[in-house]
């Protein structure tokens, strides 16, 4: 039980750390709102031409946009969670200190990232979502259980999101410089999580592939769960499957990395 308290404390520190940058948070809220506004208008035009594109009606497309802006920072869809710090610590060799701690490396960073995600959901995500809900017609459920399942889907999405970014960060043990992988992660993250266009609206076989990738578990699945576009059990099982696979892979890579680790530094 002692270790659970430790990770809870790490998560709480992650939350408070991000909460201390108030001006940056306000700036992020503003920027997400502006991007939401731009995207909403393009989606409205698109759904005007094809009223049932991807199985969504216009109100659902609008909801999807604001949900994307709401989750963009919390799920670090284009990167930018704690993994940048982890990469930097691997690069400089400070990771040796982390390995020396009587705590599990993966759980430590997971706890820290979940704390960050929780703050960014509340601090950065809620306001753009409310703005969208007030000024545009949205398709939000009134039933309590839809919101409860949405919360479950969000928690699983946070695990998947961390799983991807943790793997990317660990690659720095071998690559030493994270610029390239960060870029690749950003490209895949934005495109395959459905920030550009809902994955439901991707055509043909390409769409099928995109909807099976782990990034789909981050935005598309929670959105569909919230709007009742998918069976909740299957959706959450899909997310849980990716979460388990990614976290297990992270654990494997971690043990390989720490066994061969040559700490950088002078």
Partner 1 sequence: MLEGLRAYRMIAGMWVRAGMTYRVSFVVTLFGNLVMTGMDFAGILLMFSQVDSLAGWSLPEVAFLYGASVTSFGLAHLAAGSMPHLGRRIRDGSFDVLLVRPVPVLAQVGGDQFSLRRLGRFVQGGAVLGWSLVAADIDWTVAKVLLVPLMVVSGAAIFVAVFVAGAAFQIYAQDAAEVQNAFTYGGTTMLQYPPSVFGKDLVRGVTFVLPLAFVNWVPAAHVLGRPYPLALPGWTAFASPLVAAGCCALAGLAWRTGLRSYRSVGS
Quick check: 30 binds partner 1 (CB under 8 A)? Answer: yes
Q: Which of 87, 197, 216, 247 binds partner 1 (CB under 8 A)?
A: 197
Shorter beta-carbon distance to partner 1: residue 79 or 222: 79
Q: Which of 44, 155, 213, 249 binds partner 1 (CB under 8 A)?
A: 44
Are the CB atoms for 218 and 77 separated by under 8 Å?
A: yes
Cβ of 191: how many Cβ atoms within 10 Å?
16
Binding residues for partner 1, rule CB under 8 A, total: 36
Are the CB atoms for 231 and 94 separated by under 8 Å?
A: no
Are the CB atoms for 193 and 106 separated by under 8 Å?
A: no
Find the binding residues for partner 1 in span 201-220 (CB under 8 A): 201-203
Cβ of 122: how many Cβ atoms within 10 Å?
14
Shorter beta-carbon distance to partner 1: residue 3 or 183: 183
Which neighbouring-strand residues pair with 79? 77
Q: Which of 31, 57, 139, 228 binds partner 1 (CB under 8 A)?
A: 31
Please choose, from the candidates 171, 184, 162, 72, the residue with its C-alpha nearest in 3D space to the C-alpha of residue 115.
Answer: 162
Is the four-CA dihedral 9, 80, 187, 193 of positive or negative sign? positive
Q: Which of 12, 91, 191, 241 binds partner 1 (CB under 8 A)?
A: 191
Quick check: 179 binds partner 1 (CB under 8 A)? Answer: yes
Shorter beta-carbon distance to partner 1: residue 1 or 23: 23
Report the alpha-carbon distance of residue 114 to residue 245 in Å, rounded. 18
Quick check: 176 binds partner 1 (CB under 8 A)? Answer: no
| Residue 123 per-residue DSSP state | I
Shorter beta-carbon distance to partner 1: residue 152 or 186: 186
Shorter beta-carbon distance to partner 1: residue 139 or 188: 188
CB-based burial, 32-53: b 16+ in 10 Å, e otherwise: bbebbbebbeebeeebeeeeeb
Quick check: 190 binds partner 1 (CB under 8 A)? Answer: yes
Quick check: 155 binds partner 1 (CB under 8 A)? Answer: no
Q: Which two tokens stand for residue 189?
A: 């993250």
Q: Which of 45, 134, 233, 262 binds partner 1 (CB under 8 A)?
A: 45
3-state helix, strand, coil in the chain (%, to 5): 80, 0, 20
Q: Which of 6, 12, 19, 46 binds partner 1 (CB under 8 A)?
A: 46
Part in contact with partner 1 (CB under 8 A); list of ranges 24-32, 55-63, 144-152, 219-227: 24-32
Footprint of partner 1 (CB under 8 A): 21-24, 26-28, 30-31, 34-35, 37-38, 41-42, 44-46, 48-50, 53, 177, 179-180, 183-184, 186-187, 190-191, 196-197, 201-203
């Amino acid at each position: 039980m002692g270790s659970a308290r430790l990770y809870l404390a790490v998560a709480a520190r992650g939350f408070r750390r991000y909460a201390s940058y108030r001006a940056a948070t306000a700036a992020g809220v503003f920027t997400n709102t502006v991007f939401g506004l731009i995207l909403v208008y393009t989606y409205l035009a698109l759904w005007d031409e094809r009223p049932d594109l991807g199985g969504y009606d216009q109100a659902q497309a609008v909801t999807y946009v604001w949900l994307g802006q709401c989750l963009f920072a919390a799920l670090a869809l284009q990167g930018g969670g704690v993994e940048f710090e982890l990469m930097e610590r691997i690069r400089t060799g400070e990771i040796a200190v982390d390995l020396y701690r009587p705590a599990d490396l993966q759980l430590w960073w997971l706890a820290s990232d979940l704390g960050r995600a929780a703050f960014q959901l509340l601090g950065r995500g809620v306001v753009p979502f409310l703005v969208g809900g007030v000024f545009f017609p949205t398709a939000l459920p009134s039933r309590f259980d839809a919101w409860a399942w949405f919360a479950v889907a969000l928690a699983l999405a946070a695990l998947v999101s961390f799983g991807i970014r943790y793997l990317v960060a660990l690659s720095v043990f071998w690559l030493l410089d994270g610029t390239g992988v960060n870029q690749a992660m950003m490209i895949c993250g934005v495109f395959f999580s459905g920030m550009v266009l809902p994955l439901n609206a991707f055509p043909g076989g390409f769409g099928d592939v995109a909807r099976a990738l782990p990034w789909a578990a981050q935005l598309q699945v929670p959105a569909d769960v919230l709007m009742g576009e998918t069976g909740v059990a299957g959706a959450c099982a899909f997310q849980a499957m990716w979460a388990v696979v990614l976290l297990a892979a992270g654990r494997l890579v971690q043990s390989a990395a720490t066994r061969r680790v040559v700490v950088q530094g002078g």
